């Protein structure tokens, strides 16, 4: 059975540690709305283990992270990558200080003016100014400091390359003026991060919370206060639609925090054939998906379609040697749900998009989610073989809500996305882009709906789909 058998009850109001067996079966909504919705109060599994201080870390040569995670078991492995209160988000509020962060804040205001030549002349002058402090030796920064330095550097790199947010996406490689070009390259090498704009940078590293000082340890109440979240850096300073775009993605991880512990607990219950415990865990998972669905359903329509394209399309870096992308395929919430319920991708475009996107995901995250996908027995197989009615009902409530979420994302996301892509692919026209997105999302929704059928055990996905998850043949 799982080693972690306690949970934080009511983490959004009064977090008290209680044994999992003593948790109330009734989950109630909180009184204070978030983004116009009343989220359900979902307890948090208390995780053991020491989590590393960064999201990114290089895997040591010769180390097989997936095997190590399998030996640890889902919950213990999770504790090395995520925290009880913040999940895969940072445990402390990010701190962005120093000349690079200051330059990035100033650059966003200039960049939004829409004058590429004027912006680049100003940028080059500021970069070369010795009084700015950019060229001063900073010694050997800690891993967390180097990772946080990457955030403003990636924003600066994007703005330098694009020049004007109102024009079509720039193509081909580009290098910032010195010393910033070399600083970005060395920091990326030290951190193990592809130096391009991506969803993990945008959602999980580049946020600030009103009323929370940088460096402060975060509670789940802090993280879930989506109305208080704002981007640490802007690509169109002060733009409301950009803010809502960031919040829509951030809300997925903020309210997705309980998913990871309860999902891992469900797998460990399956291994022990603890049907009552598994049903309880799955009811918690369903509540998490519902929270994310209800909040993102309110946030996505606030995103202006033109502003979305202005930001997201130019961040695609199509034609660059590493083709940066900023897609939801990179978020741990989606990776966890796909792995936990064995969503087997069938559309070639979806498979290709995921493979392209996952290049930007930390290597040990990918190994962890491969372990979740490969855990035996798979949840669907366990539910199928158990013949347990309440367990099957709890399982189908999860997959049904997950399918509803993807149906909503296809409809609302399609309205916002028309004419733009963040999957790093080139389309002949805006219409072709939109049609491809709708086709891919329809297939992905069908793939998700198929997981609800517990009349058959789970089956492994196709070799191309497995390869897109990082599985080597």
* Higher per-residue pLDDT: 203 or 138: 203
Spatial distance between the Cα atoms of 205 and 203, rounded to a whole number of angstroms:
6
Lowest mean pLDDT among 2-6, 140-144, 226-230, 446-450: 2-6
Q: What is the mean pLDDT of residues 274-288?
A: 97
Lowest mean pLDDT among 211-225, 339-353, 376-390, 428-442: 428-442
DSSP reduced 3-state for 18: strand
Spatial distance between the Cα atoms of 379 and 454, rounded to a whole number of angstroms:
10
Q: How many CA atoms lie within 13 A of 344 on its CB side?
A: 12
CA nearest neighbour of 100 among 161, 165, 184, 192: 184
Per-residue pLDDT band for 416 (boundaries 50, 70, 90) equals low
What tens digit of pLDDT does each residue of 98-124 get? 999 999 999 999 998 999 999 999 999
Asked if the model's pLDDT at residue 429 lies above 50, the reply is: yes
First to last CA, the chain: 32
What tens digit of pLDDT does each residue of 158-213 get? 999 999 988 887 877 788 999 999 999 988 988 889 998 888 999 999 999 999 99
Per-residue pLDDT band for 2 (boundaries 50, 70, 90) equals very low
Q: Could you give the angle at which helices 389-417 and 430-450 cross, rounded to 10 degrees?
A: 180
Residue 272: CB atoms within 10 A of its CB come to 12
Q: What is the mean pLDDT of residues 418-422?
A: 58
SS3 readout for 273-329: CCHHHHHHHHHHHHHHHHHHHHHHHHHHHHCCHHHHHHHHHHHHCCCCCCCCCCCHH
Position 139 scores a pLDDT of 59
CA nearest neighbour of 292 among 233, 259, 251, 340: 251
Spatial distance between the Cα atoms of 49 and 260, rounded to a whole number of angstroms:
15
Spatial distance between the Cα atoms of 346 and 324, rounded to a whole number of angstroms:
24
What tens digit of pLDDT does each residue of 391-409 get? 999 999 999 999 999 998 8
Phi and psi (nearest 5°) for 177? -60, 155
The answer to whether residues 333 and 256 touch, using CB atoms and an 8 Å cutoff, is yes
Spatial distance between the Cα atoms of 69 and 71, rounded to a whole number of angstroms:
5
Spatial distance between the Cα atoms of 202 and 241, rounded to a whole number of angstroms:
15
Spatial distance between the Cα atoms of 159 and 294, rounded to a whole number of angstroms:
34
Asked if the model's pLDDT at residue 421 lies above 60, the reply is: no
Phi and psi (nearest 5°) for 471? -80, 125
Per-residue pLDDT band for 1 (boundaries 50, 70, 90) equals very low
Asked if the model's pLDDT at residue 418 lies above 90, the reply is: no
Averaged confidence pLDDT in the chain: 89
| Candidate ranges 60-64, 189-193, 359-363, 443-447; pick with highest mean pLDDT | 443-447
Q: What is the mean pLDDT of residues 332-340?
A: 97
The answer to whether residues 295 and 35 touch, using CB atoms and an 8 Å cutoff, is yes
The answer to whether residues 248 and 299 touch, using CB atoms and an 8 Å cutoff, is yes
Spatial distance between the Cα atoms of 160 and 116, rounded to a whole number of angstroms:
9
> Nearest 5 degrees, angle CA 352-CA 338-CA 467?
35
Q: What is the mean pLDDT of residues 80-92?
A: 95
Asked if the model's pLDDT at residue 414 lies above 90, the reply is: no
Q: How many CA atoms lie within 13 A of 65 on its CB side?
A: 21
In the structure encoding, which two tokens stand for residue 280, read together? Answer: 């309880």
Position 52 scores a pLDDT of 83
DSSP reduced 3-state for 88: coil
Percent of residues, the chain, with pLDDT higher than 70? 92
DSSP symbol at 208: E
Q: Enumerate residues 6+ apart whose C-beta is below 8 A from 342.
A: 373, 378, 379, 380, 451, 458, 459, 461
In the structure encoding, which two tokens stand for residue 282, read together? Answer: 């799955």
The answer to whether residues 242 and 326 touch, using CB atoms and an 8 Å cutoff, is no
DSSP reduced 3-state for 253: helix
Position 426 scores a pLDDT of 66
Q: What is the mean pLDDT of residues 376-380?
A: 97
DSSP reduced 3-state for 458: coil
In the structure encoding, which two tokens stand for residue 28, read together? Answer: 């109630």
């Amino acid at each position: 059975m799982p080693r972690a058998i306690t949970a934080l009850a009511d983490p959004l109001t009064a977090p008290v540690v209680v044994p999992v067996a003593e948790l109330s079966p009734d989950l109630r909504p909180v009184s204070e709305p978030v983004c116009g919705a009343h989220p359900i109060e979902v307890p948090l599994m208390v995780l053991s283990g020491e989590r590393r201080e960064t999201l990114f870390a290089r895997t040591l040569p010769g180390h097989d992270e997936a095997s190590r995670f399998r030996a640890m078991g889902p919950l213990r492995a999770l504790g090395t990558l995520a925290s009880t209160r913040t999940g895969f988000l940072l445990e402390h509020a990010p701190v962005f200080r120093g000349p690079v962060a200051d330059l990035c804040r100033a650059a966003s205001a200039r960049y939004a003016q829409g004058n590429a030549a004027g912006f680049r002349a100003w940028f080059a002058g500021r970069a070369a100014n010795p009084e700015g402090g950019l060229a001063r030796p900073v010694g050997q920064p800690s891993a967390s400091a180097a990772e946080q330095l990457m955030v403003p550097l990636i924003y600066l790199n994007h703005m330098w390359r694009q020049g004007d947010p109102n024009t079509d996406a720039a193509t081909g490689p580009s290098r910032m003026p010195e010393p910033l070009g070399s600083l970005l390259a060395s920091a990326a090498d030290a951190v193990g991060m592809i130096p391009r704009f991506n969803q993990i940078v945008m959602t999980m590293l580049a946020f600030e919370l009103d009323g929370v000082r940088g460096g402060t340890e975060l509670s789940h109440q802090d993280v879930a206060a989506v109305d208080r979240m704002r981007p640490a850096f802007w690509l169109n300073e002060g733009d409301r639609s950009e803010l809502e775009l960031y919040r829509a993605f951030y809300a997925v991880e903020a309210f997705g925090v309980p998913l990871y512990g309860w999902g891992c607990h469900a797998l460990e219950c399956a291994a022990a054939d603890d049907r009552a415990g598994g049903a309880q865990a799955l009811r918690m998972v369903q509540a998490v998906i519902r929270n994310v669905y209800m909040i993102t359903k309110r946030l996505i329509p606030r995103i202006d379609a033109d502003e979305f394209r202005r930001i997201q399309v130019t961040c695609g870096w199509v034609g660059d040697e590493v083709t940066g992308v900023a897609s939801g395929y990179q978020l741990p919430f989606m990776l966890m749900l796909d792995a936990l319920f064995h969503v087997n991708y069938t559309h070639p475009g979806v498979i290709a998009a995921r493979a392209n996107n996952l290049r930007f995901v930390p290597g040990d995250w990918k190994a962890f989610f491969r372990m979740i996908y490969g855990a035996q027995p798979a949840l669907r197989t366990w539910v199928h073989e158990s013949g347990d009615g309440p367990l099957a009902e709890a399982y189908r409530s999860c997959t049904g809500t997950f399918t509803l979420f993807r149906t909503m994302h296809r409809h609302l996301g399609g309205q916002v996305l028309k004419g733009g892509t963040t999957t790093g692919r080139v389309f002949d026209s805006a219409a072709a882009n939109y049609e491809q997105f709708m086709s891919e999302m329809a297939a992905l929704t069908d793939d998700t709906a198929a997981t609800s059928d517990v009349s058959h055990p789970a089956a492994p996905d196709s070799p191309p789909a497995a390869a897109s998850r990082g599985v080597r043949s």
